[in-house]
């Protein structure tokens, strides 16, 4: 394939799709600009209009997660469900998003990404704040409508829900990591 043909097919979506595949096969440690360029069959310089360093790829993936979350909350808000049903639908659909995009788990649980890059940390915090705001809105509405009959503070409930969901997703992430490691073991 000629370089010009390769260049024509490179865009953010192509980069995100290939990065998803790499993280799915090799985890976050296996994703780099060098590997991405090699698997896209382009030179590293061909990626410069889109990314300049490894962290840029992770940022693209986090922004993709954020876009999926925004889309989900907008869809649910337009369905006009009762707060209890909306909360159920939110977690079912969020689980489906994580199931369809297992690379999100790898990125979310790689604390080293947040420590080494401020933009990644800011994006992750923005996503977390959006989740907290969305859940708080649903819980407060449910309390007003007397569908949620609890005296616990909304913030305490939101924190508990997020921790429980995170724990559930983390358990699945650990199982997937274990399976990936088993798949790469060589028979001695």
Residue 83 has pLDDT above 80, yes or no: yes
Task: Please write the tens of the pLDDT for every residue from 11-55.
Answer: 888 999 999 999 988 888 899 999 999 999 998 888 888 888 989
Length of the chain: 188
Q: Which CATH number covers residue 143? A: 1.10.357.10
User: How high is the pLDDT of residue 176?
Assistant: 66
Is the entire prediction scored with pTM above 0.85?
Answer: no
Determine, yes or no, domain membership for 60: yes
Tell me what pLDDT residue 4 has: 44
pLDDT of 85 reads 94
In this prediction, residue 157 has a pLDDT band, given cuts at 50, 70 and 90, of very high
More confident residue, 178 or 31: 31
Q: What is the mean pLDDT of residues 137-152?
A: 93
Scanning the chain, the segments in alpha helix (DSSP H) are 3-9, 12-26, 33-40, 54-79, 83-100, 103-108, 111-116, 118-144, 154-184
Q: Give the closest residue to 124 by CA, choosing from 114, 134, 133.
A: 114
Q: For residue 29, tell me if it sits in a domain.
A: no
State how far the alpha carbon of 32 is from the alpha carbons of 10, 97, 131, in Å.
Answer: 16, 24, 29
* Residue 62 is assigned to a structural domain of this protein: yes
Which pLDDT score, from 0 to 100, does residue 5 have? Answer: 46
Tokens representing 109 are 């649980």
Residue 157: inside a domain: yes
Does residue 83 lie within any of the structural domains? yes
Dig out the tokens for 120 from the structure. Answer: 């990644």
Q: What is the pLDDT of residue 102?
A: 84
Domain, as residue range, for 80: 54-184
Query: Looking at the domain assignment, is residue 14 inside a domain?
Result: no
Q: How many domains does the chain have?
A: 1
Q: What confidence score (pLDDT) does residue 162 get?
A: 85
The angle at the Cα of 52, spanning 67 to 69, to the nearest 5 degrees, equals: 10
Q: Is the pLDDT of residue 3 over 50?
A: no
Q: 90 in a domain, yes or no?
A: yes
């Amino acid at each position: 394939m000629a370089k010009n043909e390769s260049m024509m097919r490179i865009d953010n979506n192509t980069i995100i799709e290939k990065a998803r595949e790499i993280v799915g096969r090799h985890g976050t440690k296996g994703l780099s600009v060098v590997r991405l360029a090699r698997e896209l069959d382009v030179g590293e310089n061909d990626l410069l209009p889109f990314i300049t360093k490894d962290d840029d790829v992770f940022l693209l993936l986090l922004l993709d997660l954020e876009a999926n979350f925004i889309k989900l909350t907008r869809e649910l808000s337009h369905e006009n469900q009762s707060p209890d049903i909306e909360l159920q639908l939110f977690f079912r659909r969020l689980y489906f998003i994580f199931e369809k995009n297992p690379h999100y788990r790898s990125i979310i649980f790689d604390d080293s990404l947040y420590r080494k890059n401020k933009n990644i940390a800011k994006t992750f915090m923005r996503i977390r704040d959006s989740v907290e705001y969305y859940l708080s809105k649903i819980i407060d509405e449910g309390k007003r409508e007397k569908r949620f009959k609890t005296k616990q503070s909304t913030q305490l409930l939101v924190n508990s829900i997020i921790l429980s969901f995170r724990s559930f997703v983390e358990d699945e992430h650990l199982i997937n990591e274990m399976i990936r490691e088993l798949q790469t073991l060589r028979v001695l």
